[in-house]
Structures are given as C-alpha cells and as structure tokens.
C-alpha cells in the first residue's frame, strides 16, 4: 500500500520554518515512497482562520516547490464530523458536559491542592436527568467529551520509537465546544480515516494528542495510522519559533532573496544524522530520506547557516536555476558562469552585470600605463585565452609584472579591487568598453 500523508496547517498565521520543515518532510516521505501528499487546511476555527493566511500558506509551499496532490479544507467537511460525532454519541463514547470554565478551573485547583493529577473527573457522566433538565432550562449548552478507554495506548513512533500513554492519566478530551464548533481532534481523525492517511507526520507538540486520537480511530472502527513526531525547531539561541509572531516566517525569508533549495536543504537535514550540505533538487533529498536518520535532540535553526548554504548553492547553481530570480534584462549564461563563484548574495550579480554589460566609471591609478595597455588590446573575437595573451604583451612592453601589472588593469576595467577572474570577465566586457575604460572614459 502506498503511503498517504498530509500537511495540516491551520490558516491562523503565516508559515514559519518549523511548519515548512513538517511540510517538506511529509512531501519527501511521500515522494520517496511513491505516496500521496495532501494539503489539508484545518480551518474549523472560524474566528481565527483567514483566507489570506490560507493563500500565503499555499504561496509559501509553491515557492518551496512542495506541490500537493490534493487540497482539502476542513470547513467544507463539517457534515462528516457531525456524522462521526453522532456515531460516537450512539456508542456512548461522546458525552455531554455542562460545567462552566470557572467550575472546571476550581475543580482543577482542588485536585492540585490535594496532590492529585488535574484529570477531568467525569462528573458529567453521573448527572441525573433532573440535573440535565435544570441546566438545559438555564440555557446552558453542553460541550462534548470523548470517553477515553482507561488502558495503555501503544504506538511505534517513526521518530521516537516505542511510545505509550495510559488513558487514565488523561482528561477525556473535549471534541465539540458549547457553541457546537469542533475542536481540532475529531475533524483531524475523521479526515485521516476518510482520506486513508497512513502516516501522520507532525511536530512533537502533538505527542500528547496521539493516544486520544488512536482511541478515536478505534472508536470509529478504523485502524490507526503510523505516527512520526518531530522534535520542534528552536531558534539559534534555543528560543521557540512562533508562527503568529511571524518570527522566522517564510514570507520574511523569501524577501531576503534566498533560494528555496537552500532552505529545503537545511530543513531536510536538521535533526538528522546526515551532514548539512546543499542539494539542488528535491529529488536528491527524497533519495536520502529515511526515518532512522532522525534523532530526538532539539534541532536549531540558524539563519547564518542558511545564508552559508545559500551562498554555496549560488556558487554551483546552473543558469536555468537562477535566471528568473536575477531580474537582469538580457542576462546570459556566460555572464552567470563567470560571476557566480564570487557572489555572497544573488543581488550582488547586479554590480557585475554593470561591469560586463553597462556603463561604469573606471578607476585609473596610472593613466600612462593603462593607455599603453589599451593600445595592445587584440582585436575580437575574444575568449578565455585573451586575458593571458594580452597581459603577457603588456608585461613585455612595460616591464611590469605581478600586482603592478594586474591591479591597475582590474581597477580600470571593473572599477573594483576584487572580483571574478578577469580571464572570464574580459570577453564579457568586450573590446570597445575595455579600451574606453583603460583610457579613463566612463563606458
Ligand atoms: N492543524 C494542526 C496543527 O497545525 C495539525 C496537527 C496534525 O498534523 O495532526 O498543529
């Protein structure tokens, strides 16, 4: 059976790198195994979910190259959840509770004061019909709890290994609020069942939901999927990444101009036993994906590391990979191959574009020398051998060598102290521009 996985963000904020990592690993696993990758928008919280966040999540995933095979919105599936809730009520697993938040809080405090775990005491199950009638008459609307089985729930987590939780240590989770809206737990399980999800790959913050969810799968007559809980990323200093604060948001990272494969390369390997290095395609990352490489330590997301990867990626990127992002009119492969090794950021390409194809004020150290060099420029066509032949002629004619020979030529031709090799730049600058610059003209 081919795996079916889902990435299930709530559209209540911007995606941050932690979410992107979960999305990426879902998709890598799906592609590595010939499986299906579903994007599920968990938008049952009508107050906090927003259409613009749903859009930006999809934009961010597209930018990363993480296309999905199927898109689902929970807000369109409320009937399915209501049907499942009906079945659970009929089997006695979903029960009405009338406590107010204040009453629950008070009870919790009493339990803690007595040194007891603050687990819901199931008082609602003991209500007499009169009590219920009284609450209803008062206008109280019940919320609904799932009655957990008080036994050990076990699963073999793909990342955490054999895991277990005892139902008796957990409060019966509320599945439906007093206003009739669904909390995350039931819709998630219903969808996982109906979409045939085989692996739930998500952050470790959901580990405590797993035992109740496994019981829900069973209560709804389904076999639970496999689970993989990934340790949450922290910032370089160990601080949490919050999507609502926008810290480490994909939108901000995109705005810095980094290449999505730099981010994918980093996110795919953080927290694994693989070395972090640049990969040019998702297919390479898919081929390297394996659960047994994932550890349980807290991976740190360091933006400086991302920048290093981005620079490395740029130094080896093909023209096709960057053409659109360069934003330079008429840009060509020869130019890209000549300058890529010297860039720290893609945006720096623009200054070399000016050197090669646009107008530039030269820096003249010694006008007589550069004028003599200009006179020795060979006629075009030029290639990578031109620089060597020309500077050899200049050396013979002027007796200069080393820095005294090369430095004034570089300054005149490029206006800069450093940069890509002149043997690759010179043919791009071309005869007329080179000559004019050596003569001190802006050209
Ligand atoms: N909407 C949930 C979240 O964003 C999904 C959790 C899950 O993958 O089950 O945390």
Kindly list the domain boundaries of the chain, sorted by start residue.
4-71+183-232, 80-176, 250-314, 319-357, 367-438
pTM, whole model, 2 decimals? 0.85
What pLDDT sits at residue 244?
45
Residue nearest (by alpha carbon) to ligand 1 atom 5: 8
Centre of ligand 1 from the C-alpha of residue 287, in Å: 26
Atom of ligand 1 nearest to the CA of 22: 8
What residues pair up with 165 in beta bridges, in sequence order? Answer: 153
What pLDDT sits at residue 247?
61
Helix (H) or strand (E) holding 144, with range, is strand 143-146
For residue 294 the two structure tokens come to: 């994932």
Centre of ligand 1 from the C-alpha of residue 207, in Å: 11
Among the four given CATH numbers 1.10.10.350, 2.60.120.10, 3.90.1660.10, 3.40.1000.10, the one describing domain 367-438: 1.10.10.350
- Does 243 show up as a binding residue in the annotation? yes
What are the pocket residues of ligand 1 if the criterion is a CB atom closer than 6 Å to any ligand atom?
8-10, 42, 184, 188, 200, 202, 206
For residue 334 the two structure tokens come to: 């020869």
Q: Per-block average pLDDT, block size 10, for the chain (443 residues)?
A: 96 94 98 98 92 97 98 97 98 97 94 93 95 94 97 97 95 96 96 98 96 98 98 85 64 88 96 95 97 94 92 92 89 93 87 92 95 97 96 97 96 94 94 97 94
Centre of ligand 1 from the C-alpha of residue 315, in Å: 37
Confirm if 359 and 376 have CB atoms less than 8 A apart.
no
The CATH classification number of 80-176 equals 3.90.800.10
Residue nearest (by alpha carbon) to ligand 1 atom 10: 9
Q: What residues contact 141, with CB distance under 8 A and at least 6 apart?
A: 178, 179, 180
Centre of ligand 1 from the C-alpha of residue 276, in Å: 27
Q: What residues contact 291, with CB distance under 8 A and at least 6 apart?
A: 158, 159, 228
Ligand 1 probe mutation, 8, 195, 209, most atoms within 8 A of CB: 8
**Parallel, antiparallel or unpaired: strands 70-73 and 94-97:** unpaired
The CATH classification number of 250-314 equals 1.10.1160.10
CATH 3.60.40.10 is the classification of domain 4-71+183-232: no
Ligand 1 probe mutation, 6, 10, 43, 199, most atoms within 8 A of CB: 10
Centre of ligand 1 from the C-alpha of residue 10, in Å: 7
């Amino acid at each position: 059976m081919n795996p079916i996985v889902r990435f299930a963000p709530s559209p209540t904020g911007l995606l941050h790198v932690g979410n992107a990592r979960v999305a990426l690993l879902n998709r890598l696993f799906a592609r590595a195994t010939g499986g299906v990758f579903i994007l599920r928008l968990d938008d049952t919280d009508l107050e906090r979910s927003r259409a613009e966040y749903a859009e930006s999540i999809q934009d961010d995933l597209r930018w990363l190259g993480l296309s999905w095979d199927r898109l689902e919105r929970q807000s369109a599936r409320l009937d399915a959840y209501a049907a499942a809730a009906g079945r659970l009520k009929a089997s006695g697993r979903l029960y009405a509770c009338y406590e107010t938040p204040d009453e629950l809080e008070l009870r919790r405090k009493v339990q803690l004061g007595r040194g007891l775990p603050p687990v819901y005491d199931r008082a609602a199950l003991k209500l007499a019909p009169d009590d219920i009638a009284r609450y209803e008459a008062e206008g109280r609307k019940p919320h609904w709890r799932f009655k957990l089985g008080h036994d050990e729930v076990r699963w073999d987590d793909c990342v955490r290994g054999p895991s277990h939780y005892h139902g008796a240590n957990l409060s019966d989770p509320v599945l439906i609020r007093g206003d009739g809206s669904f909390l995350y737990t039931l819709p998630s399980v219903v969808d996982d069942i109906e979409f045939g999800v085989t692996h739930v790959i998500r952050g470790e913050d959901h580990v405590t939901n797993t035992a109740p969810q496994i019981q829900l799968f069973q209560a709804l007559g389904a076999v639970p999927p496999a689970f993989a809980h990934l340790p949450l990323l922290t910032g370089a200093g160990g601080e949490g990444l919050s999507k609502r604060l926008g810290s480490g948001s994909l939108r901000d990272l995109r705005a810095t101009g980094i290449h999505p494969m730099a981010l994918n390369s980093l996110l795919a390997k953080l927290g694994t036993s693989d070395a972090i290095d640049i990969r040019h395609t998702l297919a390479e990352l898919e081929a390297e994906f394996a659960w047994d490489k994932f550890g349980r330590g807290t991976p740190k997301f360091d933006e400086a590391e991302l920048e290093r990867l981005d620079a490395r990626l740029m130094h080896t990127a093909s023209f096709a990979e960057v053409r659109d992002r360069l934003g330079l009119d008429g840009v060509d492969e020869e130019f890209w191959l000549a300058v890529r090794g010297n860039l720290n950021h893609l945006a720096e390409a623009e200054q070399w574009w000016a050197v090669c194809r646009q107008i530039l004020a030269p820096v003249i150290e010694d006008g007589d020398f550069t004028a003599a060099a200009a006179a020795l420029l060979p006629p075009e066509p030029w290639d990578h051998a031109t620089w060597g032949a020309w500077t050899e002629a200049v050396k013979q004619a002027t007796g200069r060598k080393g820095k005294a020979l090369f430095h004034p030529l570089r300054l005149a031709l490029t206006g800069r102290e450093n940069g890509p090799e002149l043997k690759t730049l010179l043919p791009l600058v071309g005869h007329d521009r080179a000559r004019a610059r050596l003569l001190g003209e802006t050209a």
